[in-house]
Structure formats: structure tokens, C-alpha cells
């Protein structure tokens, strides 16, 4: 399993995961009210008579920015492990939310994963599968320490593909 510690793979998974989170945040940030409507449909943070609308509204406004900041940190490498841990936490939360609506029989036709308008993916089993794959990537970035790249002398030839 030495290949799992290859720096290039580690770098690729980190940037790929970060790019997914950045992409996922953009449409939600551009259309916060539309995303909040999707948050309502999950019925996890309200609105209810007891909670009112504020918790769901705040969640819908702040969550895309957590995704964006997490994604940017993963791409740039700053606080990469902390960002990956946060990404993993978000993915566990998303999995719990999708599991809850499936268990409750709530029809969330548009999951609000990447866009907030048009035809979106429904909150179902395929979404759980893709979230599990992303969670595996996040755990990889948190847990695996890449091997240090061997020092390269200026006279060494460049590897193929560079």
C-alpha cells in the first residue's frame, strides 16, 4: 500500500476534494434564498413552530461559505488536514440528513448538492454512494502522511509527463 502515500496521489486527492467543495458552494452563495428553501425541505433545522425560521436560514446562509473556505484550504494546502477533517464532518452530516429523509419518506427531489435551480439530483441512494466516496477521500487526506519526495538534483532528467 506504499502507493497510497505517494505525494502526487495525496496532492491529487486533496485538490480534487477541494475543487468539489468549491464548486458545490458557488451556486448556493449566489442564490442564498433558493438554497435555504432546499434546507427547509430536509426538516432538520426547522422551520418549525418551536424553532421558527432563523436556524434554517442561518444554516442555509453559512453552510455554503464553510464549503467554500474548506475547499479553498484543501486546494491551497493551508491547514489541509483540518480542512479535510471539516469536509469529513460535513459529509457525515450530509449522509445523516439524506438518511433521515429516506427514513422519514420525505421527498427531497432536489438535494441542493451543487446547484439550487433546475433539475437537481434527488436525496437518495446514489447521493449516499457519492458522499461515501467523498468521505473516503476526506479520511485519506486526514489520515495518510505522504512520503517526502526524494531530493531531485538539477542534473536529474525530468520525469515523463512533466
Partner 1 sequence: MFAILAGAAVLGLGWNGLSGRGFALTQNAYLQEGDVEVGAPEARTRLDQGALFLDARPIAFYEMSHIPGALPLPEDDFDRAFARIEPRLRSSFDIVVYCSGFGCEASHLVARKLKDRGIPAIVLAEGWPAWTDAGYPIKEGPRP
Binding site for partner 1 (CB under 8 A): 29-33, 36-37, 40-41, 43, 46-49, 52-54, 56-58, 60-66, 68-70, 73, 79, 82-83, 85-86
> Min. distance of Cβ 105 from partner 1 in angstroms?
13
Give whichever of 4 and 78 is closer to partner 1, judged by the CB atom: 78
Write down the least CB distance from residue 43 to partner 1, Å.
Answer: 6
Of 62 and 96, nearer to partner 1 (C-beta) is: 62
Spatial neighbors of 145 by CB under 8 A, at least 6 apart, are 5
C-beta of 147: minimal distance to partner 1 in Å? 26
For the record, the C-alpha cell of 147 comes out as 512520503
Residue 154 CB: number of other CB atoms within 10 A? Answer: 4
Task: Compare residues 9 and 142 and give the one whose CB is closer to partner 1.
Answer: 142
How many angstroms separate the CA atoms of 87 and 92, rounded? Answer: 9
Helix (H) or strand (E) holding 86: helix 80-104
CB atoms within 10 A of CB 102: 15
Amino acid at each position: 500500500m506504499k502507493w497510497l502515500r505517494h505525494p502526487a496521489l495525496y496532492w491529487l486527492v486533496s485538490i480534487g476534494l477541494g475543487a468539489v467543495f468549491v464548486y458545490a458552494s458557488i451556486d448556493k452563495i449566489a442564490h442564498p434564498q433558493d438554497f435555504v428553501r432546499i434546507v427547509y425541505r430536509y426538516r432538520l433545522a426547522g422551520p418549525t413552530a418551536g424553532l421558527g425560521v432563523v436556524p434554517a436560514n442561518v444554516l442555509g446562509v453559512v453552510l455554503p461559505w464553510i464549503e467554500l473556505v474548506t475547499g479553498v484550504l484543501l486546494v491551497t494546502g493551508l491547514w489541509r488536514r483540518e480542512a479535510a477533517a471539516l469536509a469529513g464532518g460535513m459529509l457525515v452530516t450530509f449522509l445523516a440528513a439524506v438518511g433521515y429523509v429516506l427514513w422519514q419518506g420525505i421527498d427531497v427531489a432536489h438535494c441542493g448538492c451543487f446547484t439550487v435551480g433546475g433539475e437537481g439530483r434527488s436525496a437518495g441512494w446514489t447521493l449516499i454512494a457519492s458522499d461515501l466516496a467523498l468521505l473516503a477521500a476526506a479520511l485519506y487526506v486526514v489520515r495518510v502522511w505522504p512520503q517526502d519526495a526524494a531530493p531531485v538534483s538539477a542534473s536529474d532528467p525530468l520525469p515523463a509527463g512533466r
